[in-house]
Amino acid sequence: MSAPRKLFVKTYGCQMNVYDSERMAEQLGGQGYVTTDTPEDADMILLNTCHIREKAAEKVYSELGRLRPLKDANPDLKIGVAGCVAQAEGEEIMRRAPVVDLVVGPQSYHRLPAMDDAVRSGQRALDTDFPDDDKFDTLKSRGKAKRAPSAFLTVQEGCDKFCAFCVVPYTRGAEVSRPASRVIQEARELVDAGVAELTLLGQNVNAYHGHDGGLAGLIWDLAEIDGLERIRFTTSHPNDMDDALIAAHGECAKLMPYLHLPVQSGSDRILKAMNRKHTAESYVRLIERIRAARPDILLSGDFIVGFPGETEEDFEATMDLIRTVNYGQAYSFKYSTRPGTPAAEKPQLPEDVMNDRLQRLQALLTEQQRAIQNSMVGREVGVLFEKKGRIGGQLIGKSDYLHAVYADAPQTAIGQVRRVRIETAGPNSLGGVLVD
């Protein structure tokens, strides 16, 4: 019996890419691959790329340059590029990077076994189609191997919003929702393998329509699965937060009190230029309704500073919105152009202006986040322990509110939700003691 081939996967970007990397590894597992943590002993290296950040394609070419010596030393090594950069730049990657053997887009990776056969026979393989066949129909069932206590589960892909700064509609395609029955089956397989918490993923997850009751209906059905302790979802659009989903935050015990709801700007003029189709006022009113349903919910958001045409007045409107909402977590970035998007054609703001605004915005967000971290001291929270900590008998896990929490606990607590009283708060984590 021949030794298994080894697969090294490097994942960039969002949680959906983490999920996709797992599914690609499973597909190639049927080809005789086992995963390895080091590229040096791999028979195939797969880069699962993200196109959200600036100069994403150039970063991929730089990584390919670093991998070239491995290919020179082992001509049998196969190198692949997957994900959104592959979708956007597929033919160019094949032209510019002879070291690459295969390029596969995020909607086509169910075809990896056939592509692997092709490259093993000496061909190069490119597939960046938006195929008619549903990749989830082709993907194998999840394996029974023991899993970490938390996992991602894609339920929706693509986006129809066409925000002026975003490439997702071009790289991931139109909105598509997986049928609820298939999502629930995959969730059961994950729970059987030891998963206690699922994060439902989608580029616009709350637009999910694979269940008659929308995302809320899916959440209620998933909550019936024995052994599934926690449910989360990300990333949402304000325009798709319906009444049923808001109510679920107050009524479904397994839906955690954490919500990532990007707003991007607090200026109505900039929101219109971004094609967001909501206003700062409508966003704030939505937050009020969500907090009325679940008063202790921790809110997270996304912010872009320096969008083309943003004035100091526009920026101050964003700062005012942040002060009004009070975020427990947030992600903030300087605007950067994405070729092919409407905003890329507009005059860009000076770099020093964007840097100054980002620093001021991040200082405010950090102040809010630390205040909320500090407010957790003295409270009891549920913590799903996931792994050993760095010190002695400590374990680390995530609270109901997605805070990282350290506590002395037995190894048997890994995979369990335990009550913890928070005693210390640091910039990035909380410390506590078991109370059950």
Give me the DSSP letters along 6-31. EEEEEE-SSHHHHHHHHHHHHHHHTT
Contact indicator for 175, 129 with CB cutoff of 8 Å: no
For helices 180-192 and 214-222, angle between their N-to-C axes, nearest 10 degrees: 30
Classify 214 in phi/psi space as left (phi over 0), alpha (psi -120 to 50) or beta.
Answer: left
Contact indicator for 93, 103 with CB cutoff of 8 Å: yes
For residue 50, say whether it is annotated as part of any ligand binding site.
Answer: yes
Contact indicator for 105, 86 with CB cutoff of 8 Å: yes
Contact indicator for 159, 167 with CB cutoff of 8 Å: no
In angstroms, what CA-CA distances link 396 with 63, 97, 362, 430? 32, 41, 26, 10
For residue 14, say whether it is annotated as part of any ligand binding site.
Answer: yes
Q: Which residues sit opposite 329 in a β-bridge?
A: 300
For residue 159, say whether it is annotated as part of any ligand binding site.
Answer: yes
Q: Tokens for 418?
A: 């335990």
β pairing state of 230-234 and 197-201:
parallel
Annotated binding-site ranges: 14, 50, 84, 159, 163, 166
Annotated binding-site ranges for [4Fe-4S] cluster: 14, 50, 84, 159, 163, 166
